[in-house]
Amino acid sequence: MLLRHPNALVIPRAARHAHARLFSTTSNILGDKQKLVILGSGWGGYNVARQVDKRLYDVTVVSPNSYFSFTPFLASTTVGTLEYRCATEPVRGIKQVNYAQGWANGIDFARKTVEVEPAIPPPPDFARDIAGKPSQAKQEVYEIGYDKLVIAVGCYSASFGIPGVSKECLEQASLPSVTDDQKRTLLHFAVVGGGPTGVEFAAELHDFIHQDVRRLYPNLADFFSISLYDVAPHILGSFDASLRAYAEQKFARDKVKIKGGSKITAVGPDWLELEGKEKVPYGMLVWSTGLSPNPFIQKLRGVSKDEKTQSLKVGPHLTPIDDETGRPMSDVFAIGDNCMPRDGPKLPATAQVASQMAKYTSKTLGALARGGSLAAIERFHWRNRGSMALVDRSNKSISGFRSRLAGISAWIIWRSYYMTLAMGWRNKILVPMYWTLAFVFGRDVTRF
């Protein structure tokens, strides 16, 4: 039995599972390219797919998402500063890259195959549907063979979810029957997590309320409040102390309440519970408290993992460690949030680290395909370019061992820096256009 794939050389089924089929993405008939399979289309996977030399590799990306999400812009998309399309890039937009929409289920390191479960429904069973019989269409799990593999499936957010600024809260608060107390509750926005993502979201939300919502809903202006909860005493724990103080002062001036040292013990549909005692009502909750392991990495066998985070331990060239031999693998790489160096300091889970790892891995793959050996290739070094968090529309905080900036200079650097990362020309044109539109006409509050 054969499975045909548009970009695949069809090869016989490998009968490991009764329901699993094997296909190869190789174009060996056209040359002697190696098969590179990349798991994930995030900061790590997408950048390897873009940067690796396609003359040397036949590349296939496996990911449930057919697009790359530009995460630093997500907070802006939730309040209408940017359109969601500005924060995405299609995987199929990368030239000479094949794409399989699916979840990696498992890896057989000995046979060099990845088991993939399609992330799309099976095609309709036309004949039976027309005959009015129950459909027998079922999802086929299949396998992809690789010569080289890059694992970049990231982590899951620990109960993270930005449902978008819920315009319903505003419309509900505008109903004539709603009391002032109800308005205060409906317009209380609770942000849980004082890291860069939670802080940026609170800042975007504050600007949105004060620059746009006050204009559109003038009767509600006095009822808004934003609270930022964190279990640590201060927000932005990884930032320089002076910038932390700068952000906290800015929030205090803006009446964004910082609730440091708050342990949230339970969350209901419209309340959160502090320390198992006080229940605080809210109209909208945004949860941004860090990362939890990807279940695929959790169940992966044969590789060493960090006991606490379940990330894949990697050697100096970003190759996972074989659990049995204790030695780094030679054909598999793990990059981004799903990995952690076995030796040396732990690296932050950021887009900056993932994209530097992607660049390094692309170069390493090129050197290997040209006949080099890992031992001769320089180990991966992360270069800290600084970290950044939006505090308001015209002020940014930046910290790092190179720069300690705040204010307008940081704002310019922030915008220029992100525009250079992983963006196609379409978005390089669109993003400044949307920023200008939001600046001149206010944010777009339409919900479809």
Ligand X SMILES: Cc1cc2nc3c(=O)[nH]c(=O)nc-3n(C[C@H](O)[C@H](O)[C@H](O)COP(=O)(O)OP(=O)(O)OC[C@H]3O[C@@H](n4cnc5c(N)ncnc54)[C@H](O)[C@@H]3O)c2cc1C
Q: Whole-number minimum distance, CB 205 to ligand X, in Å?
A: 13
**Residue 111 in 3-state DSSP?**
coil
User: 318: closest CA among 291, 354, 349, 352?
Assistant: 354
Give the whole-angstrom CA distance, residue 66 versus residue 120: 11
**Minimum CB distance to ligand X smaller for 227 or for 397:** 397
Is residue 198 within 8 A of residue 287, CB to CB? The reply is no
**Minimum CB distance to ligand X smaller for 158 or for 408:** 158
Q: Whole-number minimum distance, CB 377 to ligand X, in Å?
A: 21
Q: What is the DSSP string of 16-47?
A: TSTT-EEEE---TTTS-PEEEEEE--SHHHHH
Q: Whole-number minimum distance, CB 50 to ligand X, in Å?
A: 12
How many C-beta neighbours within 10 Å does residue 10 have?
13
**Minimum CB distance to ligand X smaller for 152 or for 226:** 152
Q: Whole-number minimum distance, CB 307 to ligand X, in Å?
A: 20
Q: What is the DSSP string of 376-424?
A: GSPPP------EEEEEETTEEEEESSS--EEEHHHHHHHHHHHHHSS--
User: 89: closest CA among 46, 25, 148?
Assistant: 46
**Residue 344 in 3-state DSSP?**
coil
**Minimum CB distance to ligand X smaller for 230 or for 337:** 337
Q: Whole-number minimum distance, CB 413 to ligand X, in Å?
A: 13
Q: Whole-number minimum distance, CB 376 to ligand X, in Å?
A: 27
Q: Which residues pair with 273 in a beta bridge?
A: 266, 279
Q: Whole-number minimum distance, CB 213 to ligand X, in Å?
A: 21
Record the tokens describing residue 218, joined without a space.
């003038």
Q: Whole-number minimum distance, CB 386 to ligand X, in Å?
A: 10
**Minimum CB distance to ligand X smaller for 65 or for 304:** 65
Residue 256: φ, ψ to 5° = -85, 120
Record the tokens describing residue 174, joined without a space.
């505008």
**Minimum CB distance to ligand X smaller for 74 or for 329:** 74
Residue nearest to ligand X (CB): 42
Binding region for ligand X (CB under 6 A): 39-45, 62-65, 71-72, 74, 103-104, 152-154, 157, 197, 294, 296, 336-338, 349-352, 354
Q: Whole-number minimum distance, CB 288 to ligand X, in Å?
A: 7
Angle of helix 425-441 versus helix 408-420 axis, rounded to 10: 150
User: 391: closest CA among 404, 406, 413, 409?
Assistant: 406
Residue 233: φ, ψ to 5° = -65, -30
Q: Whole-number minimum distance, CB 47 to ligand X, in Å?
A: 8
Record the tokens describing residue 263, joined without a space.
């342990």
**Minimum CB distance to ligand X smaller for 26 or for 356:** 356
Is residue 282 within 8 A of residue 189, CB to CB? The reply is yes
Q: Whole-number minimum distance, CB 172 to ligand X, in Å?
A: 26
**Minimum CB distance to ligand X smaller for 422 or for 438:** 422
**Residue 244 in 3-state DSSP?**
helix
**Minimum CB distance to ligand X smaller for 67 or for 271:** 67
Q: Which residues pair with 258 in a beta bridge?
A: 228
167: CB partners within 8 A, 6+ apart: 445, 447
User: 56: closest CA among 30, 34, 38, 77?
Assistant: 34
How many C-beta neighbours within 10 Å does residue 48 have?
30
User: 406: closest CA among 414, 254, 237?
Assistant: 414
**Minimum CB distance to ligand X smaller for 157 or for 384:** 157
**Minimum CB distance to ligand X smaller for 223 or for 315:** 315
**Minimum CB distance to ligand X smaller for 41 or for 185:** 41
Q: Whole-number minimum distance, CB 114 to ligand X, in Å?
A: 9
Task: Determine the number of helices (DSSP H) and then strands (DSSP E) in the chain.
Answer: 12, 24
